[in-house]
Amino acid sequence: MTPKYYAAFLLILLGGFLISIQKIEKMLRLREAFWWMIFASLIYAGQAVMLKSLYVNYSFWDLTVYLGFGEFLPTLVIISILPKIRNRFIKNLSSLKSMGWMLLGSAVILVTIASLSGLWAITGGPVSLVSVMRGFQSIFTLIYAVFLSIWLPKILKEELGAQNLGLKLAAILLMVAGLYLIYL
pLDDT in tens, 52-99: 999 988 999 999 999 888 888 999 999 999 999 999 999 999 999 998
Q: What is the pLDDT of residue 85?
A: 93
Q: At what angle do helices 137-151 and 162-183 cross, to 10 degrees?
A: 150
This prediction has a pTM of 0.69
Which position has the higher pLDDT, 79 or 167? 79
Q: What is the pLDDT of residue 36?
A: 87
Q: Structural domain boundaries of the chain? A: 3-58+97-183
Judge whether 111 and 104 are in contact, CB under 8 Å: no
Q: What is the pLDDT of residue 112?
A: 92
% residues pLDDT > 70 (the chain): 94
CB within 8 Å of 120: residues ≥ 6 apart: 60
* CA distance linking residue 25 with residue 18, whole number of Å: 18
% residues pLDDT > 90 (the chain): 28
| For residue 181, pLDDT beyond 80 | yes
| For residue 134, pLDDT beyond 70 | yes
* CA distance linking residue 77 with residue 74, whole number of Å: 5
Could you give the 3-state DSSP secondary structure of residue 22?
strand
Instruction: Count CA atoms within 13 Å of residue 80 on its CB side.
Output: 6
